Structure 1
């Protein structure tokens, strides 16, 4: 028995990359003209959600200050927004008090009529 070596990784052309992402987004009903860069903004925002500072996000994406602030992050001061929402401005703190509440059964039955069947 002869064992075949794994296929060599091949570099995608820009066109193939753009077309592949475009088809995937189209299938999901999403229209975007930023197909090849669509993940840049979401990855920058996700890093911001776990409290990475702007300098860390900028270095990770190799962006300059104009690009990161103008294209990938909002211009809102993140620490101020967190503090106004009653959340700590540091660390990965996402505890929501309302998540610990148990809504009344009558309310749940209105939302989900099949409960209890």
Structure 2
């Protein structure tokens, strides 16, 4: 194992899911983890969950869409960033329906996967 105690890791979106589990597991391995959450209520919850798992990590309130919060994080001495937070705009965009035919120049997965030779001739 490498000397991970020298690595300061900031994980955004650490209140649940992948970010939560990444924060816990990296802290267990000796990384100096800053687990960032968007909502103040998540700060205490995450601290409690870390204590339950006997994991030491630092929990910070960080809204990645807030310029002041981002500037505050610049002073944390982060060496590794796991940018796991999704902004509301990103979530809405990912859940919106795909553009209809003729409205986008982006190719579909069918366009990328098929070749002219593989298509049946009609």
Structure 1 and Structure 2 fold alike (TM over 0.5): no
Higher relative contact order (CA 8 A, sep 6+): 2
More helix by share: 1
**Normalising to structure 2: TM-score of the pair?**
0.27
More strand by share: 2
**Normalising to structure 1: TM-score of the pair?**
0.28
